[in-house]
Amino acid sequence: MAIIVTGASGLLGGALVAALRGAGEQVVTLVRREPRGGDEALWRPAEGVLDPAVLDGASAVVHLAGAPIAGRRWTAAYKQELVRSRVDSTRLLVRAMREAGTPPGVLVSASGMDFYGDTGDRVVDESAGAGLGFLAELCVRWEAEAAAAEEFGARVALLRTSMALSRRGGPLGRMLPIFKAGLGAPLGSGRQYWSWISEPDWVGAVRHILATPDVTGPVNMASPAPVTNAVFTRTLGQVLGRPTVPMPVPRLALSLGLGELAGAGLLPSHRLRPGKLLDTGYEFAHGDLADALRAVL
């Protein structure tokens, strides 16, 4: 039986598909262009196009599609796109699962650690409630659409992903040129916690979730060892063998340069504990930040 994956062209989606296929799994990716083979199927979430037959008899669906959070300023129009690309696409996918002759039994759907809002120094596991702000509200709506699959018996897991470390892109990929130039510096106060997970552990955790029936509901996709932004900055500089700037980048400068994204994405504190993964026996390959950075770089 196939595993259906959306968002396979993204950083983490591509790594997951490669790992699954490398392990002998049959994977079908949903694409917005004309499919190029039997391992691809058409969907156009913006137009509500997805044939339920594509999902008929699949063992699981891994839903990772969504417009990028970072990389551009949050205009009113782009914030609407962030919502539409997540909420509407998830609603379409769940409806197609429901209408399939034999619905997939598992839905693993992306979310984010932003669900919790700014948690300061407090350690947060999956039992914590939703926070405040645009991203928290978006995650609440996104997860609610995915959870609707439970109504027809699917096991649903919600990936509250932290900062995924990969040299191929994502937050770390954007930092590397700055740090290699010796210009890396703490952001804002530098005291905000950054939860993180290595790309190999993210892929391993998703495979663990797919294979472990006890994993349901929200899952903190984060290493057990979050660090402050200042420690992250210092550690990345040390791993690269480059100096870092001790003077932090002021909050105002970040806000002027990045707009709302700075206050919502870079400056909040997220100190996550991956309770579900630890409690169900997942063993992290990279629990230490320096070790994780060396592994992915």
C-alpha–C-alpha distance, residues 50 and 96, integer Å:
7
pLDDT at 74: 85
pLDDT at 143: 98
CATH number, domain containing residue 87: 3.40.50.720
Predicted pLDDT of residue 260: 56
User: What is the span of the domain harbouring residue 36?
Assistant: 3-296
- State residue 256's pLDDT score: 44
Tell me the CA distances in angstroms from 150 to 42, 53, 94, 123, 251, one per residue in order.
25, 20, 10, 29, 42
pLDDT by residue for the chain (297 residues), tens digit each? 899 999 999 999 999 999 999 999 999 999 999 999 999 999 999 999 999 999 999 999 999 999 998 877 889 999 999 999 999 999 999 999 999 999 999 999 999 999 999 999 999 999 999 999 999 999 999 999 999 999 999 999 999 999 999 999 988 998 899 999 999 999 989 999 999 999 999 999 999 999 999 999 999 999 999 999 999 999 999 999 999 998 888 665 565 455 555 555 678 999 999 999 999 999 999 999 999 999 999
Q: Phi and psi for 162 in degrees, rounded to 5? A: -90, -165
Q: How many domains does the chain have?
A: 1
Identify the pLDDT of residue 261.
Answer: 55
